[in-house]
Amino acid sequence: FNSLNHDMTLAEFKFIWYMEYSHRMWGRIVGLAYILPAAYFWRRGWLSRPLKGCVLALCGLVCFQGLLGWYMVKSGLEEKPDSYDIPRVSQYRLAAHLGSALVLYSASLWTGLSLLLPRHKLPETHQLLRLRRYAHGTTALIFLTALSGAFVAGLDAGLVYNSFPKMGERWIPDDLLAFSPVLKNIFENPTTVQFDHRILGIASVTAITALYLFSRKIPLPRRTRMAVTSLLAVACMQ
For the chain, residues with pLDDT lower than 70 are: 79-86
pLDDT at residue 131, rounded to an integer: 93
CA–CA dist 54, 77 (Å, integer):
35
pLDDT at residue 109, rounded to an integer: 94
Burial 79-109 (b: 16+ CB within 10 A, else e): eeeeeeeebebbbebbbbbbbbbeebeeebe
CA dihedral sign of residues 22, 25, 27, 32: negative
pLDDT at residue 82, rounded to an integer: 58
Contact predicate 152/195, CB 8 Å: no
DSSP code for 173 = -
> What percent of the residues of the chain are helix, what percent strand, and what percent coil, each to the nearest 5?
70, 0, 30
pLDDT at residue 81, rounded to an integer: 61
Q: How many CB atoms lie within 10 A of CB 111?
A: 15
Distance set, CA 24 to CA 21, 65, 95, 206 (Å)? 5, 11, 18, 36
Q: What is the CA radius of gyration of the chain?
A: 22
pLDDT at residue 84, rounded to an integer: 55
CA–CA dist 200, 146 (Å, integer):
9
